[in-house]
A and B are shown apart, each in its own frame.
Chain A
């Protein structure tokens, strides 16, 4: 991240040069975060804390890749909006499906007594 000291804005060439080091540093950071994720799953904390930590860590990785490696940071904001429309729709669908199927009423009749009935229903 060699920011030029003499000019307010980097020239095109300087920007491309500095990008090289930005990319290398981000890749190292991503590798470190992956290591942290691995360590996190073995920590003796409550489940919700670990899940929250994992979600935050993977979100940070995700954001670094899309904003730096995929150039969203330097691109027109429309690209960001377009991608986030898909992302929000996907995230919303995932959230809705998980809520729907996570509800108590959605618990499938997996008991041994209910299994033959379910089989009959499937065959019918």
Chain B
């Protein structure tokens, strides 16, 4: 599946210096993401298992969740993924100005997503009286979405650090693998949310 870039242009998908032809940083990130799949797989399973047999007194998820807010968060995260893809595209072309704008927009969307999550959690705790300790739904829900939120927060910090680094003048087209690895992480956060949105939220409305 390698690209067929013409001779003389920099092919960002192949590194001839490694035995696999894949840049080591990218390989490391893919291995990490594969392991993170298992981590989130277990958290999602735990939530679904407890939803199979809700104990008496468990709050009705449908009455607690706000599908409008969650759909908005999903849309925001998808758009942040687009901006991240454009940031990688920009650094691969050596376009630092475009990279900075794309990173800034991704950070902005990431912060909106986090803001929505904080609002949602606050609403659940204070308005719907669903906490991490008072029901099994609360425990599995807050653990799963909280862990995802933590991943988003780490992503936002990483993006911010990269944005600041881009102003030092040391970030060039040759370092595009650093931005690409960060992009892989950010897109992973997005695909985990795609699964959570369906498995945790939408299934409750059927």
- Majority secondary structure of chain A interface residues (helix, strand, loop or mixed): helix
Are A11 and B5 neighbours in the complex by a CB distance under 8 Å?
A: yes
User: Is A89 on the interface with B (CB-CB < 8 A)?
Assistant: yes
Of the candidates B40, B55, B93, B198, the one whose C-beta lies within 8 Å of that of A90 is: B40
A-side contacts of B167, CB under 8 Å: none
Interface string of B88-131 (1 = CB under 8 A from A): 11001100000000000000000000000000000000000000
Are B71 and A34 neighbours in the complex by a CB distance under 8 Å?
A: yes
- Which residues of chain B from 29 to 71 have any CB-CB distance to chain A below 8 Å in the complex? 30-31, 33-38, 40-42, 44-45, 48-49, 52-53, 55-56, 67, 71
Q: In the docked arrangement, what's the CA distance between A75 and B49, Å? A: 36
Of the candidates B10, B22, B78, the one whose C-beta lies within 8 Å of that of A78 is: B22
Q: In the docked arrangement, what's the CA distance between A108 and B136, Å? A: 13
Please report A residues at the B interface, Cβ cutoff 8 Å: 9-13, 15-16, 19-20, 23-24, 26-27, 30-31, 34, 37-38, 40-42, 47, 50-51, 54-55, 57-58, 61-62, 65-66, 68-80, 82-83, 85-87, 89-91, 93-94, 97-98, 101-102, 106-108, 110, 112, 115
